[in-house]
């Protein structure tokens, strides 16, 4: 068996472990294990130790399906859901369940932090403005609501940091995922002392920031090797956040494509592009990328799960939808991040006697896609406004999602053949850690971002304008 690498996608709902031929990039197998998310009324939490168990199960399943023995693995990297807050005791045990990115309870803390410094200074330091999803807001919520837990914290980690530390025994993160905390300065490439002071957060609690996500931060420990059935001492990369890993998997970055927009349809909807220009736009998250470039990104909370919930309420299959007609449905079932409406609920308007259930489901698709594409409009230049949209995530496998994106954007759409781009991006980071190669160049050689190009269709301006006008009128009510 040739040498293989393992890329781990530890997302909100599950862990996927991609076993990849290191030379060709051929995806040999993907092992999967589910996560449990709990909480209501804005709370979204998971037990971090369950992520480790899921990682072990997914790796075992992937190796068994691939036929590759653990002895063939030369490197491993984790791409994790961004922004989650993991607080540990001195023995590395979680003090409480992790606060996940889509936990909106910290909206008041986000607003207060923004007011303390003002939008311009936040953008100057971090490239982003605090919202409920950012880790700094969650840490502030913890300080105010569970001060005993915050005081007891011996370590503060992001989800992917927690897993990387379990692999290598080293507290390390990367610039990409660190840039989603709102305490990392994307201009200086380091934690920001002024922000840490504002948050009452000691830098000693935080992981070291590696140069890139592909940097080798350590070797697989004996205990981790035994748990995963892998060789002790193989390369462990710093890893990164899930969006940054998807960019690597698409071949976006300094050694690949720059300024090409991506739309990702999953639990959340995201739009991003790799650029050399440091972003500082209030409507976006001004992230760093895993390879040293930047990744301006817009993120919505409500995407595929919200539309699936509407389909369930209507008793329809998710594909049993048609355009919404006069109906407009903003599926903000979990509040919303972009636009920043953390207290919002779903909104339905425009019903007529002739409106059908299939149209209502179509209106949910239109509301979700509109929200994502409006975030796309905020991506700063030199992002190419005429370039095809690279469409990824679970929604990219759905006919109605694809057709709604085409209809509301009027742009060509590229559907990459590879469907596990986060895990494949993590695998490229693992290959970079094992060999010293640039991970974007690795993914480009693997051709993981290539796929079918769908020609543009005439843009549906009427639907776009109807949903836009509805949202603009509704914002004052949704803010309350």
Q: Which alpha helices (DSSP H) does 173-287 contain, by range? A: 175-178, 193-199, 222-228, 242-249
Helix axis angle for 439-446 and 242-249, nearest 10°, is: 50
Write the DSSP assignment of 257-271 as a string of letters.
Answer: B-S--EEEESSSEEE
**Is 242 among the residues known to form the active site?**
yes
* Active-site entry in 192, 242, 291, 438: 242
In order of 179, 210, 382, the CA distances from 262 in angstroms are: 19, 26, 14
* Residue among 386, 379, 277 nearest 338 (CA): 379
* CA–CA dist 246, 266 (Å, integer): 12
Residue 172 per-residue DSSP state: E
- Residue 52 backbone dihedrals phi, psi, to 5 degrees: -65, -45
Q: Are residues 278 and 287 in contact, defined by beta-carbon separation less than 8 angstroms?
A: no
Q: In whole angstroms, what separates CA 193 from the centre of its chain? A: 26
* CA–CA dist 429, 415 (Å, integer): 22
The 3-state DSSP class for residue 346 equals coil
Q: In whole angstroms, what separates CA 461 from the centre of its chain? A: 29
Q: Looking at the DSSP assignment, which residues form a beta bridge with residue 272?
A: 262, 297
**Token digits for 133?**
């999803």
| Active site positions, annotated | 242
């Amino acid at each position: 068996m040739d040498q293989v690498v393992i890329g781990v996608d530890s997302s909100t709902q599950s862990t996927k472990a991609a076993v990849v031929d290191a030379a060709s990039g051929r995806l040999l197998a993907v092992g999967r294990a589910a996560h449990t998310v709990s909480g209501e009324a804005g709370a979204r939490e998971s037990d971090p130790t369950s992520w480790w168990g899921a990682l072990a199960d997914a790796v075992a399943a992937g190796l068994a399906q691939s036929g590759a023995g653990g002895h063939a693995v030369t490197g491993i990297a984790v791409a994790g859901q961004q922004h989650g807050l993991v607080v540990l005791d001195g023995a590395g045990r979680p003090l409480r369940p992790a606060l996940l990115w889509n936990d909106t309870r910290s909206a008041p803390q986000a607003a207060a932090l923004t007011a303390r410094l003002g939008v311009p200074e936040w953008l100057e330091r971090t490239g982003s403005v605090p919202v409920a999803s950012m880790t700094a807001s969650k840490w502030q919520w913890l300080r105010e609501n569970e001060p005993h837990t915050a005081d007891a914290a011996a370590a503060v980690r992001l989800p992917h940091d927690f897993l990387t530390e379990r692999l290598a025994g080293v507290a390390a993160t990367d610039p990409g995922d660190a840039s989603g905390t709102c305490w990392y300065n994307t201009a200086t490439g380091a934690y920001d002392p002024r922000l840490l002071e504002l948050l009452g957060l000691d830098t000693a609690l935080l992981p070291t920031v590696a140069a890139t996500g592909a940097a080798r931060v350590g070797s697989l420990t004996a205990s981790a090797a035994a748990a995963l059935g892998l060789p002790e001492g193989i390369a462990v990369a710093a890893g990164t956040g899930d969006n940054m890993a998807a960019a690597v998997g698409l071949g976006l970055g300094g050694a690949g494509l720059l300024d090409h927009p991506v739309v990702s349809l999953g639990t959340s909807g995201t739009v991003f592009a790799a650029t050399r220009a440091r972003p500082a736009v209030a409507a976006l998250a001004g992230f760093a990328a895993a390879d040293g470039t930047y990744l301006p990104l817009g993120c919505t909370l409500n995407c595929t799960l919200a539309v699936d919930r509407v389909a369930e309420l209507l008793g329809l299959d998710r594909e049993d939808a048609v355009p919404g007609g006069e109906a407009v449905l903003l599926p903000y079932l979990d509040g919303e991040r972009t636009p920043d409406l953390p207290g919002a609920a779903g909104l339905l308007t425009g019903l007529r006697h002739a409106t059908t259930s299939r149209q209502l489901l179509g209106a949910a698709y239109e509301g979700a896609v509109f929200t994502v594409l409006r975030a796309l409009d905020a991506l700063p230049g030199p992002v190419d406004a005429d370039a095809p949209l690279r469409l990824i995530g679970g929604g990219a496998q759905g006919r109605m999602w694809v057709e709604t994106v085409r209809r509301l954007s009027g742009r060509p759409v590229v559907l990459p053949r590879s469907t596990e781009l986060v895990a494949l991006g993590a695998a490229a980071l693992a290959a970079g850690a094992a060999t010293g190669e640039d991970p974007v160049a690795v993914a480009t050689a693997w051709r993981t971002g290539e796929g079918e190009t769908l020609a543009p269709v005439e843009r549906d301006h009427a639907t776009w304008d109807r949903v836009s006008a509805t949202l603009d009128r509704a914002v004052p009510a949704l803010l309350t």
